Amino acid sequence: MTTVIIAEKPDAAEHIAHALAEKNLKEKKNELGVNWWEFERGGTKHIVVAAVGHLFNLKQKAKAGWTYPIFDVEWAPSFKIRKQSAFSEKYFRTLEQLAKVGSKYVIACDYDNEGSVIGYNILRFIYKVNDANRMKFSTLTKPDLIKAYNEMSPHLDWQNIEAGLARHQLDFYYGVNTSRALMLAIKKASPRFAILSAGRVQGPVLCLLAEREAEIAKFKPEPYWQLQLHLLLGKLELIADYEKDKIWKEDEAKKIFAACKGKPAIVKDIVTKKYKQAPPVPFNITSLQTEAYRLFGYSPQQTMAIAQKLYTSAYISYPRTSSEKLPPQIGYRDILLALSKNKKYEKLCKALLALPSLRPVEGKRTDPAHEAIHPTVEPPKRELTGPFAKIYDLICRRFMAHFATEAVRESMQIVLDVNGHRFSTTGRRTLEKGWMEFYGPYAKFDEIILPELKKGDRLNVKKLDMLSKETSPPPRWSQAAIIKEMEKRNLGTRATRAAILQTLYDRSYIMDKTIRVTNLGMAIAKVLKKYVPDLVDEKLTRKFEKELEQIFEGKTKKEKVFEQAKKALIKISDEFRSHEDDIGKELGKAIVATQEDKSTLGKCIKCEDGILKVLFSPWTKKSFVGCSNYNRCAKCGFTKKACKCKCPVCGGEKGKCKDEWKVKGWMPKCSTGYPLPFGATVQRLDKICDKCKTPIIQVVRKGKRPFRMCLDPKCETKAEWGKPRKKVAKKVIKKK
């Protein structure tokens, strides 16, 4: 009798094995280089083996060619249908090898739609089994894993499985059919190629971003005026604003300015208010992504990846949660005791542990499977660095803040009279830190402490300003703000929102941290809204989201949802076909404009009218930066193909001149060029190097931290590049 426990990732498998092994834990490795673990528990041999995410994905069943709509799909090994999933084959083969020894199976993948589908597909396609035991846990700590094993369900979590299978199939229907429709339209009517997609959630989100972009483009600024009074109170300078925030008529502003200029400011009233500020509620994945973006500038996708790694290292609880609740079962005191071993948190934890009882502040949101994000009883054994240290510290400090008292703050408004006109200034200060002390550097609030004043005091006016301003357009969405808006509108899920946003970046529909919709993104949104409005209808997307929730709750069947989706997609496909030429032409123009925009880095410093662009060399198979005049004749200004100039040496006869350009009787107008890092993408920053005056770019390599550089490889800013780093000698402190 052998029990095979299937984990979702290798890190999780190792934690499970070490937690459950009573004796004789053995680490095995096959010829493919994949580890698994063997041990005994309760007199039974156990094997813990890992998948590596989804080992199966959906594909078109019938070989009907590249057409749409298609609904005949099947599950197949990921490595057979996706090049980027080739690495998963060795895990697939390892699970196959262990099929011969297993007599009982336990699914220990993440307890959610995705994890349940991963485990179920392995069971039915590799092990030919339809049911198994199910472990449920929110952390990878030893106590939680032992409890999950001892209390595991005798059956699979069919609600998660049914909802997960339905979501995968529904998203595949939408993704494959709409993407094919777009790309076939492009192929038919455009000279340029681009990989396009428009999914069930992707379309509405793109339209939401495009609407904001259109608002900004249409915005017409309106002039207004503001009056500001500069006061001197000893060495402190304060600014008091006129009671009207915006004065829309210049004559009115001038009239008030003339009446107040040179007049004293007399304190008319002082309004002081004390108020309490409650601690922040526990993190779910959306609020963690929002806070990480606000504090560190991390993208939602980056925060998700960091949190997932901290989870699989057993340092925090499961991050893909909607909950803002912290049940007592997680062991508040045990977690605080564990954190107190870290010198950074020792004093703070001791203060909380001294309290007669521990009651965390909680939010309203819940999750049926997992609690809110929190640190575990197993803190890092080694000191974390970089983004992992920052996110872990943020989660720990947030957790401690939940148990602390409210902060007490005070606001003070001073109302001033200047020749019958009211000005005011407001100060704020913290009287009792409360939870702010525990949240530390992340509790950022304005501290403007005003001096003690009383009614009738006459203040020294330094100057009076009349500021001329214009109204601003609505701000662009930040990455964190759009994730929050998606949650508010019920677009996507907590696990998919960051990936959907990343897809929009990958398709060149959007760019920049503060999201700017590209020409292509605007065109996609426009044609979808114009020709296939159902595809970008938020109501339809929300309707399917609700039905997917109903599948989880057992209130409806996935087959019923599929039939509704097929009807909607057949209608969408018909609309695509009837406007295929128009869609292709409109998108073709946008593809050209977007590709040109992305490849343009700035002006050439060596010629007057040249533009530096990212180009591709068919000879070296590498990208480089070259001047747009590189392809223009120095004599006539025409492109290389159109130039008819002859070489003054040989008259353009082949074989007489060794120089390739002279053979064709042609010389480039500008030969400026710069190399680019291999295997990386570059992003324009619209900044110029102070030293060499070439554009500065951001270089992005997969799995590595982005960095910035100027284009000139000989620039003095790169003087130290390539040189070995100096080793810093560590000081040895001897104890007396």
Report pLDDT digits (tens) over 656-667.
555 544 444 456
Backbone angles phi, psi at 623, to 5 degrees: -85, 150
Which pair of structure tokens corresponds to residue 89?
């084959």
Express each pLDDT in 388-420 by its tens digit.
Answer: 999 999 999 999 999 999 999 999 999 999 999
Which pair of structure tokens corresponds to residue 398?
């947030």
**One domain for residues 243 and 274:** yes
Boundary-marking domain end, from 126, 156, 186: 156
Boundary-marking domain end, from 447, 470, 493: 470
Which pair of structure tokens corresponds to residue 434?
């409360």
**One domain for residues 8 and 150:** yes
**One domain for residues 451 and 490:** no
Q: Quick check: 702 pLDDT over 80?
A: no
**Domain count for the chain:** 5
**One domain for residues 489 and 465:** no
For residue 251, being part of any structural domain is answered with yes
Q: Quick check: 464 pLDDT over 90?
A: yes
Mean pLDDT, range 175-186, rounded to an integer = 90
Backbone angles phi, psi at 647, to 5 degrees: -65, 130
Which pair of structure tokens corresponds to residue 110?
């993440």
**One domain for residues 151 and 188:** no
- Residue 687 domain boundaries: 604-632+668-718
**One domain for residues 415 and 493:** no
Residue 365, domain CATH: 1.10.290.10
For residue 344, being part of any structural domain is answered with yes
Alpha carbon 109 to chain centroid distance? 24
Q: Quick check: 3 pLDDT over 80?
A: yes
**One domain for residues 10 and 140:** yes
Residue 258, domain CATH: 2.70.20.10
Model confidence at 440, pLDDT cuts 50, 70, 90, reads: very high
**One domain for residues 124 and 212:** no
Between 272 and 495, where is the model more confident?
272
For residue 111, being part of any structural domain is answered with yes
d(CA 52, CA 347): 40
**One domain for residues 561 and 618:** no
Active site residues: 318
The dihedral region occupied by 507, where left means phi > 0, alpha psi between -120 and 50, and beta the remainder, is alpha
Taking a C-beta distance cutoff of 8 angstroms, is the pair 581, 571 a contact?
no
DSSP lists the bridge partners of residue 600 as 613
Residue 119, domain CATH: 3.40.50.140
Residue 555, domain CATH: 1.10.460.10
For residue 161, being part of any structural domain is answered with no
**One domain for residues 9 and 134:** yes
For residue 533, being part of any structural domain is answered with yes
Boundary-marking domain end, from 569, 594, 619: 594
Backbone angles phi, psi at 163, to 5 degrees: -65, -40
For residue 656, being part of any structural domain is answered with no
Backbone angles phi, psi at 304, to 5 degrees: -60, -45
d(CA 216, CA 514): 13
From the number of C-beta atoms within 10 Å of its C-beta (0-12, 13-18, 19+), residue 153 rates as: middle
Express each pLDDT in 311-354 by its tens digit.
Answer: 999 999 999 999 999 999 999 999 999 999 999 999 999 999 99
Backbone angles phi, psi at 4, to 5 degrees: -100, 120
- For residue 736, the model assigns a pLDDT of 38
Mean pLDDT, range 624-645, rounded to an integer = 72
Of 570, 584, 583, which is closest to residue 173 (Cα–Cα)?
A: 570
Mean pLDDT, range 117-140, rounded to an integer = 95
Which pair of structure tokens corresponds to residue 93?
């083969």
**One domain for residues 365 and 395:** yes
For residue 660, being part of any structural domain is answered with no
**C-alpha distances out from residue 489 to 205, 215, 547, Å:** 10, 20, 15
Determine the Cα angle at 484 with ends 197 and 683, to 5°.
Answer: 55
For residue 649, being part of any structural domain is answered with no
Which pair of structure tokens corresponds to residue 88?
């998963």
Of 510, 530, 531, which is closest to residue 520 (Cα–Cα)?
A: 510
Predicted TM-score (pTM) of this structure: 0.83
DSSP lists the bridge partners of residue 39 as 46
**One domain for residues 45 and 151:** yes
Q: Quick check: 421 pLDDT over 90?
A: yes
